[in-house]
Each structure stands twice: as C-alpha cells, then as structure tokens.
Structure 1
C-alpha cells in the first residue's frame, strides 16, 4: 500500500473521525464550598458535578473530571492564580477574590451596582458582559457558567438593615469596594474567604458578615448568629461567582470539546438562577428555626446603601485603570436606580 493510499484510508476511517475528540484526559474542578452529590447539597457543588457528568457524556468519555470541594485541593484565594497559570483546570470561585491582583474582577461584587438577578444574568449578552469576558480571557480565564447570587447579613447580635447599623462593628464584605462601603458606613472591614467566616464569628473577631444566601446556610453561620438580614426584599450584595476554566487548558481542547464545555456551562445557568432564588427564601426559615431575628432589606434601606456606594466605592473603582472605567460605564447602562 502506498503512503498516499494509507493516508487516504486513515482519513476516511471511523477512528480518524473520532479523533476530533482529544485523547482521554481528567480535569480537576476546585471550589471552597461543602461537598455533596448531584442530587443534594450546596447547589454550587451540585452544579460542578452536573457539569462534569454531562460533559463526560457529550465527549464520550474523552473528558473526565474530579471534583475537589471544601478547599481540599487548594485554598480559596489560590484558585484564580492557579487558573491563570494553568496549574488548575477549573474552579467555581467568587470573581472578586482576584481583585487584589486584577482590580477589574471587583466589578463582580460592586455594592448596589447589581440589585436583581435579571440585571446580573443580563450582563452575559450585554456590552458589560462581553467586555468582562474579553478582559478575563486576556488574563487567562474563560467563563464557562455565569452564576450570580444575592446575599444577606448574618450578625452575632443585632439585625443589619441601614448603613448606620454597622457603625463600630467588624464586618466581612467580600471585596475591596464592599469593604469601602462598610468603612464609609462606620464599620471596620475584615477580609476573609466565606469558608472562614463561621470560625471568626464564633471567636468574636468578627461581628457580622455579608455573604450569599447559599453560604449563609452551607457554612452554618446560623450557629454563630442571632440575627439575619435576607435578600428577599432586595439586595445591595450581588456576587458574580462563575464556573471558570483556565484558558491554557481550554486552548488545549479540541473544538468539539470546547463546544461541549461551553454548551453545558450555558445550560446550567438556569439551574443556578433557580437554586439561588430558592436559597434566598430558604435561609429565612433556617435562621428562624435557630431562634435568630430575621428581617428583610427594604427599598428605603437599599437606597441609602446605594447612595453611599456611589460616593466612593464606584468612583474609586472607575479610577483604578482604563478597564475598570470602561466596565463601570457599561454596567451603569443597566443599573436600576433605587
């Protein structure tokens, strides 16, 4: 058989057609949240497991995944640098955790900039979302699933409703700009990942914490709290917490594999939205059952928080660099004035 004949036979064989999928590989997905199963547990862990199962099915086993919940693979703050370097394949992680190295990331937890799920999830196909995708791609990150979560406030003593309620308290915000908001309201801002909040509240080194409704339950903050402000009546704390892939890893995948990853990621966004909303409602019952005082944020309080955020947090973010200025300009096109 001539070389040309042999190559022609290979090119038309089923085995050659299957080679559009790369050789079998096992990718690691890291997150800081409690582990569970596809059917039960923290919805962010469930989403990772659903993603892994569906992509494996679509790629006929060419891509397989190992899930590492609860920071068992690496610390929460180490995940985004590891994604950028290609030493971690995937992570579901709050984007604002990258804010110290890449200030643009703090657009994902900008106080009172996003005040509804419709607004947050609408970013994906809006100019602000396309610009954020471009910036993160340049920084070595690929957004696979857009996930937004509303958050509330757990407090060791009293409910936190209006800005003046945090005066003199030590409060965890979750991003540089959220910390600035708290400082402007008279609090001492404390920085830490969400999986460290409960221990800090138990020890008394933290008086209150803002985090997602899901984390308020998953990390059992009700065991260290006497009061809760829910997101049911609105929220000035909306976090962008995407499932991301290292661009280095993504670029190594075949085109069909890339398509499978992105298609499954997009389909799971509906699950994320439904689950986040369900947790906003469920958290009130969980805390009330432990005897905590439960209040809902109201429009008047939200207006006051937004007014403070505009004064310094938004302005300072926009002044950090050209990317930040552009992101803020585009985000304000979809802002809801309270």
Structure 2
C-alpha cells in the first residue's frame, strides 16, 4: 500500500510539472560577466560607460524574462584592465567595454580605433558602424573571437599641468600619455616623451610628475578627477584630433553557444544603446569644461586649422605606420578615409 501511494504521489507530481507555465519550468538563468576599467555607479549616475553596461544588463534581463543576466564588474575588479580583451577573445570573459587601442599590440588592426586626426567629430564617428570600414573592422574582430555589440565613440581632451597642448609643437619636451600606439608615434614625432598607461593610472602619473599631460576621453578626465591637477585643458567639444572607439564587446565563443533567440536579443539591446552612448559622450564634453573651469583651469578649444596640423603630422607618421603593417590595415585605413 505504501509503495502504491508513493507511485501515485510521484505521478501526481509529474502531472503538476507538466501543467506548470514554461517560465516556472525554465532552467537557471544564464549569467554573463562584464568587466571594465571605469568607476562604478548606477543606472542614472556615474561614468557614462559604466551606465551603458548597467543599462545593457537591465534591459537584457527584462526582455529575456530573467533568462539572461549580466553581472557588471567596474574598476577592473574582476580582471586587470589590459587582460580583458584577450580574455574576451578566449572566452574566459563574456563581455567588456574596452578601448580597442589597448589591444593594438595583440590585434594590429585595433590601432585604427585611435588613429590621430582620422575621426574628428561625432557626425563622422556615427557613420562608421554602417560604412564599409565598420563592416570590415567587425569582420577582423569576429575572426579574432570578438563581437562588437555597441559602437561607442568618445572625443578626447588634453589635460596639462603645464602649458596648453593645442598644436604639435606644444608637445615638445613634455611627458605625455596618448592612449595608443599610433597616437604615441605622433607625439614622439612632435618631440614629446611618451608614457604608456591605461586611463585608470593617469591621476597617479600626473600627481607624481611622471606625466605633464594626458589625452583621454572627456568621460575619463571627469571620472579620474584630473581636474585636481590640471592648469590647462584643451577641450574636445565639437571637434578633436583624438577620437577613440570604446565598444561594448562580447566573446564570440560565448555568443555562439547561446540559442539564436538570445543572440538576437543581445544584438538588439546593444544596438539600441548607441544613441545614448553618443549623447552621453557629448554631454560629458560640455560637463568637462564646466568642471575644469570651476577648478581654475584655462580652457582652450581646437580650431579646424589646429586639427589640420595634427592631420599633416599623422599622415606622415601614424597613418603611414599603420598602412604599412599588412594589406588589411592598408585597406582599413583607405576605407576609413572615405568616411567624412
């Protein structure tokens, strides 16, 4: 009798499971880890790049009914800054928001993402994703195991604890951080002493005198508080000789292992964040000027003529160097020049 009751109970339980809504029978959610180097905040406040990551996580969880969850790790708290791109390539990290120029030593084509005076305004930057250069760069990265989900461009400004840096001769004799190999080549040609470091280390560099000046995205110059050490700011609002691509990327290994409907959702959410990323970057360009001016820094805006002097130098140094690496880099540069 006991055995019969047990069997009947088990049968009843099975019938109950069959009657449950699919959501209740769903498997445990897929947890994706997203690491970046920037200061953490909230959905509404803090570094715009961290907010992009949090918005991506919140929207993905909402629209997947909890089946996809993204845990965001700011401040390189999960993984060191310069290790993140390689980890994404190998599937050891699911997602990252990373300056592509940091990966230039590993994937030479990534140096295009911070090519001096190649992209000089946001209207031009916004065209890359749908232009041939964007298509080809995406293929290069996919071949290396990385998928771009959100194209995030940021204008660069120059924070200096000495004199202003507006045209190439201003770099002569100073210690300066450019943020990427090709930018460093231009600064070296202008007579500067180049110091390579991620943006998260700029403050200590300026504080100790290891840096006289640093070029970085406006958002970084705000988040890393260089206003405390800056006497002259060359603003990147409106135009700049320094534009960087800092996309939200995903490991192709991880992406390919997901069901098609989840892949589609991830791409949709990533693309929908692009307008926010551009508007946030523009707001930070303006906010940077306000913050630094309030600290007493002198503000300098770049003219079209200023940028042309950087472009002339870049063509003979960084552009030439990049195009000479291989046939693919030469073609990428040619395609990029067509985006005006």
Q: TM-score when scaled to structure 2? A: 0.92
Q: Whole-Å Cα distance in 1 between the matches of residues 307 and 154 of structure 2? A: 17
Structure-2 separation of matches of 1:26 and 1:86:
14
Secondary structure of residue in 2 paired with 1:186: coil
What's the CA shift for 1:72? 0.6
Matching residue of 2:213: 208
| Shift in CA distance, 14/91, structure 1 to aligned 2, threshold 3 Å | farther
Could you list the runs of 5+ residues in structure 1 that have no partner in the other structure?
1-12
- Correspondence 1:311 to 2:316: yes
The alignment status of 1:328 with 2:333, answered yes or no, reads: yes
CA distance in 2, matches of 1:331, 1:140: 22
C-alpha contact (below 8 Å) 2:40/2:74 kept by paired residues: yes
Please give the alpha-carbon distance, in whole angstroms, between the structure 1 residues aligned to 2:327 and 2:278: 31
Counterpart in the other structure of 2:276: 271
- Partner residue of 1:176 out of 163, 178, 181: 181
Shift of 1:123: 0.7
Q: Deviations over 1:9-63 (max 9, x none)?
A: xxxx9989879x9752111111100100001001100110000010011111111
Structure 1 stretches of at least 4 aligned residues deviating more than 4 Å after TM superposition: 13-19
Alignment partner for residue 283 of structure 1, among 271, 283, 288? 288
**Alpha-carbon distance in 1 for matches of 2:39, 2:315:** 35
Q: How far off its partner does 1:322 sit?
A: 2.0
Q: Any conservation in 2 of the 1:233–1:298 contact (CA below 8 Å)?
A: no
2 CA distance for matches of 1:153 and 1:79?
A: 26
Supply the distance in 1 between the matched residues of 2:265 and 2:19 (Cα, whole angstroms).
20
Aligned Cα RMSD in Å? 1.6
Count of residues in Structure 1 that have an aligned counterpart in Structure 2: 322
CA contact (8 A) 1:233 1:299 kept: no
Indicate if the aligned counterparts of 1:143 and 1:242 stay in contact, CA closer than 8 A: yes
Greater alpha carbon shift after TM alignment, 231-240 vs 96-105: 231-240
**Aligned pair 1:49/2:51, yes or no?**
no
Change (3 A) 1:178 1:62: same
The 5 A counterparts of 1:183-202 are 183-202=188-207
Per the TM alignment, residue 280 of structure 1 is displaced from its structure 2 partner at its CA by: 0.8
Per-residue Cα deviation, 1:143-184 (whole angstroms, up to 9, x for no partner): 010000001100011111111111001110011100001011
* Partner Cα separation in structure 1 for residue 70 and residue 308 of structure 2: 44
Distance 1:235 1:175 in 2: 16
Determine if contact 1:51/1:268 at 8 Å carries over to the other structure. Answer: yes
Which deviations, in whole Å up to 9, do the C-alpha atoms of 1:262-294 show, x marking residues without a partner? 101111000000000011111111001111111
Q: 1:23 to 1:330 in 2, by over 3 A?
A: farther
Q: Which has the larger radius of gyration?
A: 2
Alignment partner of 1:259 is 2:264: yes
Shift of 1:196: 0.2
User: CA–CA distance in 2 between the matches of 1:146 and 1:84?
Assistant: 18
3-state SS in 2 of match to 1:202:
helix
Matched, 1:71 2:76: yes
User: Structure 1's 112 and 57: CA in aligned 2 closer, same or farther, altered over 3 A?
Assistant: same
- Which residue of 251, 255, 267 maps to 1:250? 255
Q: CA deviation at 1:78?
A: 0.5
